[in-house]
Amino acid sequence: MNQPPRLADWLLSRVLPLGKRGESIRGDLREEYRAMCGGGRPLGLPNLWYWHQALRLTLRYLTEPSRTPALSTPRRSPMLHDLTSDLRSALRLFRRTPGTSSLIVVTLALAIGAATIGFAFADLALFRGLPVDDPSRVVSVFAADTHGAQSRGRVSGPDYLDYRDRSQTLERVSAFRQGRAALIVDGHSRTLTVSWATGDFFRAMGQPAVQGRTLANADDAPGAPPVAVLSHRYWQEELAGRPDAVGRSMQIGRANYTVVGVVTPAMEVGNLAEIDVWLPLQITAAGARDVRDLRFVARLRDGVTFASAAAELAAIGDALATQYPESNAGWRVRLVPISDLMGGDNFWVVIALFLFSIGLLIAIATANVSNLVMVRAVARQRELAVRAALGARSGRLVRQLVIEGLMLSTVAAALAVPAAWLGLQVIASLSPDPVFHQLVIDAHEFSFVAALALLCPLIFSVAPARTLARTDMRQVLAATGSRGSTAPMRGRDVLVVAQVALAVILLTASSLALRSVRQVFATPTGLDTSRVLVFTLDFNDAQYPAEEQSRAAALATREALSRVAGVDISTMLTALPILGAEGIAPITVDHDVPRLQRLLASSPIHARRRIEAGRDHHRGHRRRRGRPGPQDARRRLVGVERVECRRGERGRGEPLLWRRQRRDRPPPDVFPRAGLDHRPRCRRDQRRGRPRHDRGRAAARVGLDGRAAPARDLRPEVTGRSRRARERGASRRGGHRARRADRVSRDL
């Protein structure tokens, strides 16, 4: 026998009167339904008919006021009835005091919205985690020097091969590194952010392809046909998500790569979101062991604990240090769960402070709202006293206050979500940093807002409820007038004090944070960045496979720059001071061990940069120790510079090495093209038409359409978004000028 739609029948059972009255109506409907089914009609029609009747009856019985209260059992429980009554009372109160209610709602909405924006940052850092399947089994391997200067160093290619081959506790051992490469389209090139990864990388991360396949083990073998995997973002933005992208050919550098797949968008977290294309990484054992440039991830084998894997890797690291003392002595290996990779070792402190400030913000808002609610409760004392006189218990009155607050906070939460979304959009539009574009409002943020919407009324209803409980209702009723008694409100005073105290704490913390930021930017770095133009070039492996080629290109560029009128000195280095250096390696100074020991004792951190011989003074650096090396010294230390700031010396009125600057020549007005093209790095600067000062930075970068700008006026950071926007803009303008490099080659 055919059964009517269960959901419709359930709906009727909830709406129709209880008892035989409702059951008989449902019985009538079923009888007619079965009569329709028996007529040989398709089953869909009776079902549709049943739904139609159920909905019409529901509408009728919901809108029809109950005229027979005595004939039917009360449908709603007393609790539900009271709640409904309280909600109606809250709605009436909202209409009666629209000003106060709106003020409460707006205050709460702004506070919850701001807290949600803050939570979105914390959520991204803490809860979303890395794009890894079963992260408890995935580890990252770091090289750490025994001096403690480098706790999360990268791993060299030969070391990676040794760890991979010798380890019995790890599987899917993979490595990757990030860089840039030139995509050649119709004779023009554009810079792509590329990650070179070994074939096991995606299997180690547990991330599939949404189109085609990811990299495979055979792809990183010597002689394997070059293949590329696109990031989902690149596929969507540049190829409009076309399904025929797989199988197409891309010329990257001088090789043609075949696109074999598109990786899942779940990979686009953190700096992985900047990657356009994934290419296979081929590693040979013949590489240098002191060039540590690979990130290293692996998966624990089944049944292997983290501790046993760490012990095994440490043993392998010790063996390598013994086997290769020149490159591996003083280095040990460190295993870190990949779930701990977000941020740094002390990142939790930042997040804790962040969450603390969110808590303060909410506390201030609730204290403010509590004050307003208390004022309103005082104004309603007579009404509440009458209810108490009629038999309402104090719990019932408190519940009414809480429900009124709940209604207000619910409305505020509904407004806070779009407010937070709007705030995130504004932040993302103001800052090109990719992390701001990864902030979203989803189930996590909705849950956070809901939790606040439930929590806030409980907090800001406490004080009015306590006041209410202590008030003598007889006095209130006996008092003349409709405003109730004017008894002193100690709770309100406490609230005001708490609110002011919290506000002072938050303002003090904020001003201190702002002051710290200003001081960081104003701190003398010992570098004179005036009249210095900095730009980056990328002589990458893909475009310049031979070391000689990249060196020749770099030298030709430098010579072309030197011939430009107004250019005093042009030189090259691998990384800007303070902004970071790659390739941390043991320092050897002329085999003079005592001198090295003195050097290390004087400063815990030394960074090595390869600087052209004799040209290290161009940026206002003074060489502290070491000596210039020959110009062609490729892997030899040519100097040791202290990266730390020399604050004391600038206070004497003469900045470091200013006297070495030639002030008789004006700064160049026009940047030499020399086959280069630059545009502003920061869209914000471009849009506002005013420079951004980064006085605390060691240098800035030139980025102009043929114009030069003082180094201090430009942001040093280059973000993926601005870079992509720049490159897209260049493409729109024809793309013929858009080839530049963004980094000085490591191999200079």
Partner 1 sequence: MDWEVDVGGRNFLGEFEQRVLLAILRCGDGAHPIEVRREVMRATGHEPSRGAFYTTLDRLDAKQLVRWTTEAGAEKRDGLPQRTFVVTPEGLRALRASRKALLELWSGLDGILSEQ
| Chain centroid to CA 32 | 60
Residue with tokens 């200003």: 518
- Record the tokens describing residue 267, joined without a space: 């990979």
Among the listed residues 10, 14, 18, 28, the single contact to partner 1 using CB under 8 A: 28
Residue with tokens 């702004």: 110
| Residue 18 touching partner 1 (CB under 8 A) | no
| Residue 352 touching partner 1 (CB under 8 A) | no
- Give SS3 for 650: helix
| Residue 73 Cβ vs partner 1, minimum distance, rounded to whole Å | 14
Among the listed residues 29, 341, 362, 638, the single contact to partner 1 using CB under 8 A: 29
Q: Which residues pair with 228 in a beta bridge?
A: 259
Among the listed residues 45, 59, 386, 556, the single contact to partner 1 using CB under 8 A: 59
| Residue 17 Cβ vs partner 1, minimum distance, rounded to whole Å | 8
Among the listed residues 7, 10, 14, 31, the single contact to partner 1 using CB under 8 A: 31
User: Closest Cα to residue 533, out of 579, 570, 581?
Assistant: 570
| Residue 85 Cβ vs partner 1, minimum distance, rounded to whole Å | 23
Among the listed residues 11, 25, 553, 725, the single contact to partner 1 using CB under 8 A: 25
Torsion, Cα 58 63 66 67, to 10 degrees, reads -120
Distance between CA 540 and CA 544 in Å, rounded?
6
DSSP per-residue codes, 607-667: B---B-TT-GGGGT----BS----TT-SSS---BB--S--HHHHTTT--TTGGGS-TTSPP
Q: Looking at 17-25, 478-486, 507-515, 633-641, which segment touches partner 1 (CB under 8 A)? A: 17-25
Among the listed residues 8, 46, 50, 53, the single contact to partner 1 using CB under 8 A: 53
- For residues 53 and 499, which CB has a smaller minimum distance to partner 1 in the complex? 53
Helices (H), 482-616: 490-522, 547-562, 593-602
| Residue 17 touching partner 1 (CB under 8 A) | yes
Provide the 8-state DSSP code for 226. Answer: P
- Record the tokens describing residue 708, joined without a space: 């030069």
Distance between CA 403 and CA 89 in Å, rounded?
9
- For residues 66 and 523, which CB has a smaller minimum distance to partner 1 in the complex? 66
Residue with tokens 């133009």: 533
| Residue 8 touching partner 1 (CB under 8 A) | no
User: Closest Cα to residue 405, out of 446, 463, 489, 469?
Assistant: 463
Among the listed residues 7, 10, 14, 21, the single contact to partner 1 using CB under 8 A: 21
- Going 115 to 117 to 121 to 126, the CA torsion angle's sign is positive
* 681, 707 Cβ separation under 8 angstroms: no
Distance between CA 614 and CA 629 in Å, rounded?
8
Torsion, Cα 377 382 383 389, to 10 degrees, reads 120
- For residues 60 and 81, which CB has a smaller minimum distance to partner 1 in the complex? 60
- For residues 4 and 577, which CB has a smaller minimum distance to partner 1 in the complex? 4
- For residues 59 and 451, which CB has a smaller minimum distance to partner 1 in the complex? 59
| Residue 16 Cβ vs partner 1, minimum distance, rounded to whole Å | 8
| Residue 57 touching partner 1 (CB under 8 A) | yes
| Residue 14 touching partner 1 (CB under 8 A) | no
| Residue 11 Cβ vs partner 1, minimum distance, rounded to whole Å | 14
| Residue 226 touching partner 1 (CB under 8 A) | no
Among the listed residues 49, 51, 61, 324, the single contact to partner 1 using CB under 8 A: 61
Instruction: Compute the residue count for the chain.
Output: 748
| Residue 34 Cβ vs partner 1, minimum distance, rounded to whole Å | 5
Q: Looking at 30-38, 104-112, 114-122, 527-535, which segment touches partner 1 (CB under 8 A)? A: 30-38
Size of the site for partner 1 (CB under 8 A): 26
- For residues 34 and 624, which CB has a smaller minimum distance to partner 1 in the complex? 34
User: Closest Cα to residue 436, out of 121, 706, 221?
Assistant: 121
* 564, 668 Cβ separation under 8 angstroms: yes
Among the listed residues 6, 39, 42, 64, the single contact to partner 1 using CB under 8 A: 64
- Give SS3 for 374: helix
| Residue 13 touching partner 1 (CB under 8 A) | no
∠ CA 13-16-18, nearest 5°, is 80
Q: Looking at 14-22, 275-283, 544-552, 740-748, which segment touches partner 1 (CB under 8 A)? A: 14-22
| Residue 88 Cβ vs partner 1, minimum distance, rounded to whole Å | 22
- For residues 68 and 346, which CB has a smaller minimum distance to partner 1 in the complex? 68
- Give SS3 for 282: coil
- For residues 25 and 149, which CB has a smaller minimum distance to partner 1 in the complex? 25
- For residues 71 and 497, which CB has a smaller minimum distance to partner 1 in the complex? 71
Q: Which of residues 407-446 bind partner 1 (CB under 8 A)?
A: none
Contacts of 12 (CB under 8 A, 6+ apart): 22, 25, 26, 29, 54, 57, 58
* 441, 427 Cβ separation under 8 angstroms: no
Distance between CA 129 and CA 267 in Å, rounded?
11
* 195, 275 Cβ separation under 8 angstroms: yes
Q: Which of residues 67-126 bind partner 1 (CB under 8 A)?
A: 67-68, 71
Diameter over CA atoms, the chain: 105
| Residue 654 touching partner 1 (CB under 8 A) | no
| Residue 8 Cβ vs partner 1, minimum distance, rounded to whole Å | 13
Among the listed residues 5, 11, 26, 83, the single contact to partner 1 using CB under 8 A: 26
- For residues 75 and 625, which CB has a smaller minimum distance to partner 1 in the complex? 75
Residues that bind partner 1 (CB under 8 A): 1, 17, 20-21, 23-32, 34-35, 53, 56-57, 59-61, 64, 67-68, 71
